[in-house]
Amino acid sequence: MPDQTIELLRELTEAHGVSGYEQEVREIIRRHLQDFTVIEQDRLGSIVCRKKGLAETPRIMLAGHMDEIGFLVKYITDEGFIKFSTLGGWWGHVMLAQRVVIKTKKGDVPGLIGSKPPHVLSDEERKKILEPKDMYIDVGATS
């Protein structure tokens, strides 16, 4: 794969763009395609890039999503842990120990998804898949 293609794929996969907040992804697409296509944006934030060919047919459409599954901060506990809800289809098995970035007006805050440690769980609790409601985001805060 040419280095340009690898760089584009890296940029797109590392961009943050949970549903409703796809601006970062939209900017990458615009930057890479503005010299080759006509770009339109609707009121919901979707973009359409049009490239007219020399012939009328065939017509080809490539469709894709700019958004990704993510989380929404619900509240912060007195101990400084961030409780959250999911945006999209998450599975409890893959959420623990995920690195996350909380987007704020003052900048990005890195965090890690955690839960009660195994040594304080009952035997029955250890057998269950943890649900998001039993998890939190740890950003290293103490209060």
Domain with CATH 2.40.30.40 in the chain: 70-138
First to last CA, the chain: 48
The whole model's pTM is what?
0.77
Range list of H helices, 15-135: 23-33, 92-95, 123-127
Residue 35's Cβ-count burial label (10 Å; 0-12, 13-18, 19+) is exposed
Instruction: Calculate the average pLDDT of the chain.
Output: 91
* Residue of 101, 85, 110, 136 lying closest to 24 (CA atoms): 101
* Residue of 79, 78, 72, 77 lying closest to 132 (CA atoms): 72
Q: Look up the CATH superfamily of 70-138.
A: Peptidase M42, domain 2 (2.40.30.40)
pLDDT digits (tens, 9 = 90+) for 63-105: 989 999 899 999 999 999 999 999 888 888 789 999 999 999 9
Say what angle helices 23-33 and 3-14 make with each other, to 10 degrees. 160
DSSP-based three-state secondary structure for 18: strand
